[in-house]
Amino acid sequence: MLTAYTSDQIRAAEAALMATLPEGTLMERAAAALAARCAGLLGGVYGSRVLILAGAGDNGGDALYAGARLAGRGAGVDAVLAGARVHEAGLAALRRAGGRVVDLRGVPGAGAGVDEAGLRGPDGSGGPRGPGLRRPGRGWEAGVRGLAEEADLVLDGLVGIGGSGALREPYATLVEAVAGAPALVVAVDVPSGVDASCGRVEGVAVRADVTVTFGARKAGLLVDPGAEYAGRVELADIGLGPYLPDPGVSALTAADVAARLPRPGAESDKYRRGVLGVAAGSRDYTGAAVLAVGGAVGAGVGMVRYAGVAEPVEQVRARWPEAVITELEPGRGIGEVGRVQAWVLGPGLGTGPEALALARSVLASDVPVLMDADALTLAAGHRELLRRAAPVLITPHAGELSRLLGVPRARIEARRLEHVRRAAAELGVTVLLKGSTTLVAEGERPVRVNLTGTPWLATAGTGDVLAGLAGALLAGGLDGYDAASCAAYLHGVAGRSGPLAAGDVVRALPEAVRSVTTRSGTFL
């Protein structure tokens, strides 16, 4: 299982480790790992061009030391010093190796958007790059932009894991100056402008192709919007492992999912494999019922008992003859459906009095219930629906969670980790928050991040498939936390080959399950 941590947890672990090591050892390890990864990305180091953006803290020191290693191997390295201070030992190492420096410290108007002369050489003239210190003149942003255009790789060492909130000047202007350059961008530990603890981004931030993160993954690198800026996250081991606490965020791997999935044995029959009840669809939304049942069938559930009114019943019967169907009169409960091990409630159900009556009937049962789509809209107006003795798993997108919590949707999308935890605590349920990063929260357990998600799944009906898939795992015996996490993982694997429609995801589910259970897949 992959684990991730907050900035405070990382700093505490680093302090404990540093107390056992000679001074500077940890930075040396980090710089060596960073330089090695940059060298690999460059292919050939000799003759390459590297631009370093160096801030005031240890993050800037890591970048400067790594730059010194690359310069020692023949790279042309320029470092822009942007902080009020600089890591003096790292700067000295870079200079000894032949690196060149652009010093913005104390420059009047730094970041003010002035124009003209750009970066000046040691004699005060503009033009070609000279050795040693180069003093920025008016229009330094254009000069930095020119260096970025010439570079093969930009190394972002402006702000480390302690940064939060919007970038201040001249950092923000520097980030804008290098944005759009053709160079590969490598972030040191975390992209500047991304909150390492939660992924929040306020204002501009570095968009990295690769983030080399030290010691342990940071939670903000796995959760959007931060994950979008991090690019590919590569972990560099610097020895923190024994000093790390229990994680606040984790992510399942293929092996983790394989170990949790229910599998049939020699004594299995359709009842032992799990019977799922599905209450979904309506006169207006028949497709939701078809897709939710399909998600359960594709996941390999033992049996689906579908309950609905005439119009979706006709569609489900035609598409899924293996489903056992009970046609309900409008407003009628589930008393005649038969015994199930879990229910899926809500996709396409509607939100009128008939749907509310059916929802109350399902929620009066004593088995786990997954609530999705219209069931969540009903719950937003009738919070008592969520208060039951048996487990509840809800699967909202940000808009649905907004209605449940009374929080603007934009705030949820900007602070997904915060709000999925809040929802689990306030509502007393397991929460699968859908979206650009799918998160699963329950009580005090680590929030699980799904890493197989893909934008191809952003199409109508795929949420209905996910509900059926997760419901099948509930019926198969998994608790809500594992059912939601494994379902999100398999759903992402099934959606990798886009473009696709929701029905394509249903058809891809059996192979997605096989790819995990046989450990033949290439996913995390």
CATH for 312: 3.40.1190.20
Indicate whether 366 and 457 sit together in one domain: yes
The percentage of residues in the chain with a pLDDT greater than 70, rounded to a whole number, is 93
The mean pLDDT value of the chain amounts to: 91
pLDDT attached to residue 273: 85
DSSP assignment letter at 323: S
The residue ranking higher by pLDDT, 161 or 519, is: 161
pLDDT 10s digits, 490-505: 999 999 988 999 999 9
Q: Which two tokens stand for residue 114?
A: 């002035």
Q: Considering 251, 285, 310, which residue would you say is the last residue of a domain?
A: 251
Number of helices (H) and strands (E) in the chain: give both, helices first. Answer: 18, 21
Band the pLDDT of 332: cuts 50, 70, 90: confident
With vertex at residue 319, the alpha carbon angle to CA 316 and CA 322, rounded to the nearest 5 degrees, is 80
Band the pLDDT of 111: cuts 50, 70, 90: very low
Residue 267 within any structural domain of the chain: no
pLDDT attached to residue 497: 86
pLDDT at 343 over 60: yes
Beta bridge partners of residue 327, listed in sequence order:
308
Residue 266 within any structural domain of the chain: no
pLDDT attached to residue 119: 40
pLDDT attached to residue 267: 76
pLDDT at 112 over 80: no
Domain with 300, as residue range(s), is 254-260+272-517
pLDDT at 331 over 90: no
The average pLDDT across 170-195 equals 96
Q: Which residue has the tokens 């028949």?
A: 286
Q: Which two tokens stand for residue 216?
A: 């342990």
Band the pLDDT of 524: cuts 50, 70, 90: low
> Residue 163 maps to which CATH number?
3.40.50.10260
Indicate whether 423 and 463 sit together in one domain: yes
pLDDT 10s digits, 376-385: 999 999 999 9
Band the pLDDT of 264: cuts 50, 70, 90: confident
Pair 17, 244: CB distance under 8 Å: no
pLDDT attached to residue 110: 52
Instruction: Give the Cα separation of 429 and 196 in Å (integer).
Output: 27
pLDDT attached to residue 516: 93
The dihedral of CA 433, 437, 441, 444: what is its sign? negative
The residue ranking higher by pLDDT, 78 or 83, is: 78
Q: Considering 251, 280, 297, which residue would you say is the last residue of a domain?
A: 251
The set of residues, in sequence order, having a beta carbon less than 8 Å from that of 449 and lying 6+ positions away, is 4, 222, 223, 249, 250, 251, 437, 438, 439
Band the pLDDT of 122: cuts 50, 70, 90: very low
Residue 213 within any structural domain of the chain: yes
pLDDT at 394 over 70: yes
Residue 522 within any structural domain of the chain: no
pLDDT attached to residue 126: 35
Instruction: Give the Cα separation of 512 and 258 in Å (integer).
Output: 11
Q: Considering 203, 218, 251, which residue would you say is the last residue of a domain?
A: 251
Lowest mean pLDDT among 30-44, 395-409, 412-426, 505-519: 505-519
Backbone angles phi, psi at 434, to 5 degrees: -80, 160
Indicate whether 389 and 318 sit together in one domain: yes
Indicate whether 175 and 305 sit together in one domain: no
Indicate whether 300 and 417 sit together in one domain: yes
pLDDT attached to residue 263: 84
Backbone angles phi, psi at 343, to 5 degrees: -125, 145
Indicate whether 381 and 411 sit together in one domain: yes
pLDDT attached to residue 251: 97
Residue 114 within any structural domain of the chain: yes
The average pLDDT across 379-404 equals 97
Q: Give SS3 for 441.
A: strand
Q: Please give the C-alpha separations between residue 319 and each of 287, 289, 323, 326, 500, in angstroms, as whole numbers.
A: 10, 10, 9, 15, 19
Residue 61 within any structural domain of the chain: yes
The set of residues, in sequence order, having a beta carbon less than 8 Å from that of 290 and lying 6+ positions away, is 281, 312, 315, 316, 319, 320
Task: Compute the chain's Rg from CA coordinates.
Answer: 27
Residue 79 within any structural domain of the chain: yes
The residue ranking higher by pLDDT, 165 or 288, is: 288
Q: Which long-range contacts (CB under 8 A, 24 or more apart) does 208-213 make?
A: 208/156, 209/184, 209/185, 210/37, 210/41, 210/184, 210/185, 210/186, 210/234, 211/186, 211/187, 212/33, 212/34, 212/37, 212/186, 212/187, 212/188, 212/236, 213/189
Band the pLDDT of 117: cuts 50, 70, 90: very low
pLDDT at 118 over 60: no
pLDDT at 369 over 60: yes
DSSP H or E segment with residue 136? strand 133-136
Instruction: Give the Cα separation of 263 and 219 in Å (integer).
Output: 32
CA 216 to chain CA centroid, Å, is: 16
pLDDT 10s digits, 463-486: 999 999 999 999 999 999 999 999
Residue 368 within any structural domain of the chain: yes
Indicate whether 495 and 465 sit together in one domain: yes
pLDDT attached to residue 7: 96
Indicate whether 455 and 351 sit together in one domain: yes
With vertex at residue 123, the alpha carbon angle to CA 120 and CA 128, rounded to the nearest 5 degrees, is 45
Indicate whether 222 and 284 sit together in one domain: no
pLDDT at 188 over 90: yes
Indicate whether 286 and 411 sit together in one domain: yes
Q: Which two tokens stand for residue 66?
A: 């790594």
Pair 215, 13: CB distance under 8 Å: yes
Measure the N-to-C terminal CA separation of the chain; round to a whole number of Å: 10
pLDDT attached to residue 270: 82
Total of domains in the chain:
2
Backbone angles phi, psi at 337, to 5 degrees: -75, -35
Helix %, strand %, coil % of the chain (to 5): 40, 15, 45
Indicate whether 211 and 305 sit together in one domain: no
pLDDT attached to residue 164: 84
Indicate whether 205 and 351 sit together in one domain: no
pLDDT at 136 over 70: no
